[in-house]
Structure 1
């Protein structure tokens, strides 16, 4: 529901914001490219309308009153946000650049081949990809949104579910010949991730007990898949992210059993409202992931 707004004197609000930031009517006049008298008159009219004084005029310059101190940050933020949006209109077309953090497995295994279709459908949106190993701080790294793997519970973030990605053992074809039952995995090198209980959970889903694990711990699913493809061991990986390698026979899935330990989510800070580009990207990601979840015919 729209909120009724007072009759806002935009020229006066702008004059006040610049004068408060500059600390001087003279400097404000230079920035606004008007006369000092014009700035002073606009601020006076604003003060009369509000019924409060926003500045105390002193011999050393302008000093904000309590009312002025309360109003200035709101106006500065609002004018900055309006400026950011207006700057995106270049050559008569709206443009917005999104900084998208993506866990590397999702970027290489799913997003990379599909993103050109989104960019072709939305030429006013430019996507910059920043890959990571699932450890990421959106605000600190200057990102707008991030795709990550987990349970969807991240403090201070909205999380929209995208794609389930259950884990299952993947290995090279020559190694798969020796894997008839889950217990045969005990004789192989089992690559581990930083989530220590994944193999145990998979063996439980497969109806057996996990062997003692001594394989190397890797923080990259892509590195794990590369080592598995080279025949160096077995990786517990999301098969949906390695569909191309499976289709090419470079990796093999020896068992049907799989275990869900999380899913991929689109996350964004709760502290900031989504931009039009963020909303479009979220809707597209949800639609494309739903197609994949529905099966190959839908995708």
Structure 2
């Protein structure tokens, strides 16, 4: 069967006139004459063998056929425009949506993300943060960076780095701590995992917290450290993610001992096919972490 092609100008003229319900406004938008719009619409109607407009006293009204055609053209022209907007300097821009657990975003990723942008200027990174509870399907994520063991159903996971937990607190409380047993006199701040503090105490050979020990639970290490800075208690958190607070003295690490209960992982749904932008980001992320690990003392 021979396919009959419709001139793009006719479709564009109809779309503008139908959206604005005016040949005059459409002519101004497309920078052509009123007569040109009228002729293009008439040619389209002849091609389709149906009327698309009805003239009324106040201007134009779409027929049922015109109403069915307009949203299809709206979507098609929007998609064309969005695709053309993605071209820059002869290269198509790519969008990549990443959900990042807030502690890793603040403590590691954001200070280094500009380096990725310089190396890959064609990739637009759309970043959102979460508190380790994330739905990659509902949020349409390409990647999710999460804390844990690396085992998530239907998800591929690439290990990024360990996140050992250490006691962290404000300087005023830190000055009162001489040995791990002193921690029993203070409020202990923890995440949703009940075994974090008991595991840490066991690792340093100290007695576990008693039943009377006061705890405060947080769903984010970021808010936990805000509480620690305010003197609310002693946090157990990944010290390497809070170097900026340690360096400027807003918090201190009274004991060097740490315990590892998980790490950070780059994850994606197994059903999600990697794009070129995703491969660029993954390669940059792993290479940067490896380079910093090898240059660190003892690396």
> After the TM superposition, which segments of 4 or more aligned residues of structure 1 sit over 4 Å from their partners?
29-33, 85-88
Counterpart of 1:228 in structure 2 is 228
Q: Deviation of residue 292 (structure 1)? A: 3.1
Counterpart of 1:281 in structure 2 is 281
TM-score normalised per structure 1? 0.70
SS at match of 2:191: coil
SS at match of 2:134: coil
Counterpart of 1:163 in structure 2 is 161
Instruction: Give the unaligned 5+ runs of structure 1.
Output: 1-11, 16-24, 34-82
Q: Deviation of residue 291 (structure 1)? A: 2.8
In the alignment, is the contact (CA less than 8 A) between 1:170 and 1:235 conserved in 2?
A: yes
Query: Partners of 2:97 and 2:284 in 1: how far apart?
Result: 16
Query: Partners of 2:7 and 2:152 in 1: how far apart?
Result: 42
Instruction: Give the unaligned 5+ runs of structure 2.
Output: 10-79
Query: Aligned in 2, Cα 1:218/1:203: closer, same or farther, shift over 3 Å?
Result: same
RMSD over equivalenced CA pairs, Å: 2.6
In the alignment, is the contact (CA less than 8 A) between 1:163 and 1:290 conserved in 2?
A: no
Counterpart of 1:194 in structure 2 is 192
In the alignment, is the contact (CA less than 8 A) between 1:147 and 1:265 conserved in 2?
A: yes
Aligned residue runs from structure 1 range 1-299, under 5 A: 88-90=86-88, 92-212=90-210, 213-296=213-296
Query: Aligned in 2, Cα 1:182/1:275: closer, same or farther, shift over 3 Å?
Result: same
Query: Partners of 1:151 and 1:167 in 2: how far apart?
Result: 14
Query: Aligned in 2, Cα 1:32/1:155: closer, same or farther, shift over 3 Å?
Result: farther
Q: Which one has the largest radius of gyration?
A: 2
Counterpart of 1:41 in structure 2 is none
In the alignment, is the contact (CA less than 8 A) between 2:169 and 2:229 conserved in 1?
A: yes
**CA offsets, 1:222-276, max 9 Å, x none?**
1111111122210001000000111111111111111101000000111122111
Q: Deviation of residue 293 (structure 1)? A: 2.6
Q: How many residues align?
A: 225
Query: Partners of 1:129 and 1:283 in 2: how far apart?
Result: 18
Query: Aligned in 2, Cα 1:168/1:298: closer, same or farther, shift over 3 Å?
Result: closer
Query: Partners of 1:30 and 1:149 in 2: how far apart?
Result: 54
Q: Deviation of residue 288 (structure 1)? A: 1.4
Query: Partners of 2:117 and 2:6 in 1: how far apart?
Result: 41
TM-score normalised per structure 2? 0.70
Query: Partners of 1:198 and 1:295 in 2: how far apart?
Result: 30
In the alignment, is the contact (CA less than 8 A) between 1:165 and 1:240 conserved in 2?
A: yes
Query: Partners of 2:290 and 2:95 in 1: how far apart?
Result: 25
